[in-house]
Amino acid sequence: MERRINKAKLPYLKRIEDFDFAFQTSVSERRIKEIMTCRFIDNGDNILLLGPPGVGKTHLAIGIALEALNKGYTAHYTRCDDFITMCKKADERNTTSRLVNKLSKFNVLVLDEMGYFPFDELSANLLFQIISKRYEEGSIIITSNKSYIEWGKIFGDDVLATAVLDRLLHHSTTFNMKGESYRLKEKQKAGIQPIVAK
């Protein structure tokens, strides 16, 4: 378990038990409980968590990955900007196929923060290869602040974005998360007023 957690490279350990569903009412606790059975992994289903900053996308993604690890599956976490850097390095070293194989073999691949940074042609291509390889075999959990319509901009290519989404969404569950940022709520509780743009 420890070895698998280390390999998963989770940025921090957040459990679903620590998630306040009373605060985040746009996510159904029942659907998350169903996901916690990890049947989605056996079915090769993907999970997409969409929404603005601070609504709990990363928390849920990590919590689900932790439960998968707990049940004996392998998982791997990467932020999209790190993935883009990894692709560049792999290209310089001529090891892109090794990177694609590595990221294709985990039962669960978490791609966090899709959309904060645009993908260049190389990383968009390698991501497409990974998604194609994993299609109907492994599960991918993606978090994004962008709606599907805006994904063309992330990849700089509408055709590629459509092909990626077509594969991702074929067997998938999407959570459209809404509401206030939990980070702001904690700040307000501590008496720090948010800066309001004028």
Ligand X SMILES: Nc1ncnc2c1ncn2[C@@H]1O[C@H](COP(=O)(O)OP(=O)(O)OP(=O)(O)O)[C@@H](O)[C@H]1O
Q: Which amino acid is at 183?
A: R
Instruction: Enumerate binding residues for ligand X (CB under 6 A).
Output: 14, 18-20, 23-24, 53-59, 113, 143, 145, 182-183
Largest CA distance in the chain: 52
Nearer to ligand X, 76 or 79 (CB): 79
| Span from 51-59, 72-80, 152-160, 171-179 in contact with Mg ion (CB under 5 A) | 51-59
Q: Is 111 helix (H, G, I), strand (E, B) or coil?
A: strand
Least separation in angstroms between CB 3 and Mg ion: 25
Using the rule CB under 5 A, which residue among 24, 58, 107, 144 binds Mg ion? 58
Tell me how far apart the alpha carbons of residues 44 and 116 are, in angstroms, rounded to a whole number: 26
Least separation in angstroms between CB 91 and ligand X: 27
CA dihedral 139, 48, 66, 17 (to 10 degrees): -140
- The residues, ordered by sequence, that sit 6+ positions from 12 with a Cβ below 8 Å of its Cβ are 62
183 binds, among Mg ion, ligand X, none (CB under 5 to 8 A by kind): ligand X
Nearer to Mg ion, 81 or 91 (CB): 81
| Span from 54-62, 72-80, 130-138, 170-178 in contact with Mg ion (CB under 5 A) | 54-62
b/e per residue, 178-198, with b = 16+ CB within 10 A? ebeebeeeeeeeeeeeeeeee
Chain residues that interact with Mg ion, rule: CB under 5 A: 58
